[in-house]
Amino acid sequence: MTNKTETATPAVRLEAVYQARTRLQGVALHTPLQPQPHLSEKHGCAVWLKREDLQPVRSYKIRGAYNRMATLTPEQQALGVVCASAGNHAQGVAWACRHLGIKGKIFMPAVTPNQKVGKVRLFGKEQVEVVLIGDTFDDAYHEALTCAKNEGLAFIHPFDDLRVIEGQATIGLEILDDCAGQPPDLLLLPVGGGGLAAGVSSVFRQLHPETTIIGVEPAGAPAMCESLKQGRLVSLPQIDPFVDGAAVRQVGRHTYQICRRTLHEVITVPEGLVCSVILDLYNEEGIVVEPAGALTLAALRLLAPDWQGKKVVCLISGSNNDITRTEEIKERALLYEGLKHYFLISFPQRAGALRDFLNNVLGPDDDITRFEYTKKNNRERGPALVGIELKHPQDYDALIERMERHGISYQTLNDNPMLFEMLV
């Protein structure tokens, strides 16, 4: 990882980025850079949002996909392209196929939600063929590579391709254009495979190196963080796929080499904090984002004390959020904030035991949100799974004190990963 004074020349050429911007005119939007008065007051710094969630495919991926496909040779375009993706990249490729008149095969895991598959077909129309195969992205990825080799099709990588990186880098030009001579003191960029971070940070390093650039990864998939720490490309043995737009086992070879020279730091944020930000953005700002789209604002919550009074730009990368995930997002947010707790409680099998628990243990603002009881006819006690939602995090200690005082036999589940995953 570099420090702020390193001046190594980035691999992304500005001339190529300007050319990419020209190609993208009329295809990708010049998305707004919006001041956020409420968030600025909340965090004590001037917060601006770069709204890539407003793109036609609701993410920045259209930039890199289109730029790569537009620079293929006529022969390659005539043959067609292939890619693998479970989400935003597939939609970007599909959109580019339709607008460039290129046939495309898009490999997606068989478990991909129908909503996402439908959007790819909607954007690509008759130009794309969606192939559902395997249970994971890796399965689809390997099948796509095999198809590209056997059929002579150009493979459109989601991030580890210089033309893709140059397309994403056009975001950096737009931010600087819209800053009216006052570039940000801090720029926060989401990091998945690293294409966006590599491109945008390269532009800033060359045009405004005074800006501090910090990459943000989900805590459950810190592929860039670990690679930078170890000084080599690292493949994570397992990841938490919740922040699906940024959860990769390994970042790109090109993106790693660029980011190690252009990013000042990469930090991770807990998935629960990401969920809290998603809900707050919707409830307070009316902005709908996907988990990856909330990474930078989650990081701002952690970093804001060090950037009081400064200008901060947070890149909102996408808004392709499946509505069926809402309950899980709410649950993860409550757990992170210390407002939701699960217990296994052993109740005496006598009349009034539950009533005693409610009267003696539950606080005035506590709410039971889950209760599953199993009666054991041949035993004196029976187990119950109890979920309790608190009004304030500090109410937890009082709840535990009351259970101890009244001799309640319990076991906490929030810190037991194996049991806990069965509940959320």
Q: Point out which residues pair with 388 in neighbouring strands.
A: 341, 368
Print burial letters for 39-56: b (CB count within 10 Å at least 16), e (below 16).
Answer: beeebebbbbbbbbbbbe
Distance CA 406, CA 136 (A): 49
* Catalytic annotation, pick one of 202, 317, 319, 340: 317
Alpha helix positions (H), 286-325:
295-303
Distance CA 90, CA 106 (A): 7
* Catalytic annotation, pick one of 61, 116, 119, 311: 61
126 and 97 in contact (C-beta within 8 Å)?
Answer: no
Distance CA 417, CA 421 (A): 6
154 and 73 in contact (C-beta within 8 Å)?
Answer: no
Pairing label, strands 81-84, 46-51: unpaired
* Burial class for 363, CB neighbours closer than 10 Å (0-12, 13-18, 19+): middle
* Burial class for 16, CB neighbours closer than 10 Å (0-12, 13-18, 19+): middle
Q: Is 61 a catalytic residue?
A: yes
Q: Is 149 a catalytic residue?
A: no
Cα dihedral 195, 198, 203, 209, rounded to 10, equals 160
Q: From the centroid of its chain, how far is CA 174?
A: 22
- The token pair that represents 259 in the structure block: 């980011």
Distance CA 415, CA 93 (A): 41
Distance CA 4, CA 213 (A): 9
Q: Which residues are catalytic?
A: 61, 317
